[in-house]
Amino acid sequence: MTNATTYRTRWADMDPNGHMRHSAYADYAADHRVVLLAQWGYGVAKFAELRLGPILFREETKYLKEIGIGEEIRVDGCLASASADGSRWSIVHTIFKADGRVAATVTVDGAWLDLDRRKLTLPPAELAAAFSSMPAYEPPTR
């Protein structure tokens, strides 16, 4: 997993049952996307300069194993699909426990928004190429 990011879960990530709250999974997946974009040269400042931003149409989480406070987790992102021009894409984030077991998957479908026109737009060619270089998602075999 060459594009994985490691995190340690925090008190704020937990629910009253003592395991990671549902929205924290989405937060870690979102942070991982921000990390990837920045690694490709598309940090917050670059998006502001371009007047461009990523948007989501759908987000789905499948919970498989509990995660507790202080656990080390690893989040990766793989490209499930992308349009030929890079305007629309789907990413599957896999959240792993420290022992390598899959704790959850977060699937997002997104596109690019022109922040001035408030309409969908094409990404810069370099950004589309970076997205297409992501590892392809391969569903686990059971």
- Taking only the tens place, the pLDDT of each residue in 73-101 is 999 999 999 999 999 999 999 999 999 99
pLDDT at 39: 94
pLDDT at 139: 81
CB-side exposure of 101: number of CA atoms within 13 Å?
8
In a domain, 96, yes or no: yes
Least confidently predicted of 19-23, 65-69, 131-135 = 131-135
Q: pLDDT at residue 125 above 90?
A: yes
Please give the backbone phi and psi of residue 48, each rounded to the nearest 5 degrees, phi first. Answer: -65, -40
Over the chain, what is the mean pLDDT? 94
pLDDT at 1: 39
Q: pLDDT at residue 142 above 80?
A: no
pLDDT at 41: 95
In a domain, 142, yes or no: no
Residue 33 CB coordination number (10 Å):
19
Q: Give the span between the Cα atoms of 68 and 87, in whole angstroms.
A: 37
Q: Which domain holds residue 109?
A: 5-132
DSSP alpha helix (H) spans, the chain? 22-39, 44-50, 125-132
Number of domains in the chain: 1
Q: What does each C-alpha distance from 46 to 18, 20, 23, 37, 124 come to in angstroms?
A: 39, 32, 27, 10, 11
- The enclosing domain of 80 has a CATH number of 3.10.129.10
In a domain, 140, yes or no: no
Q: Which two tokens stand for residue 111?
A: 């596109």
Q: Is 34 exposed, middle or buried (0-12, 13-18, 19+ CB in 10 A)?
A: middle
In a domain, 139, yes or no: no
In a domain, 106, yes or no: yes
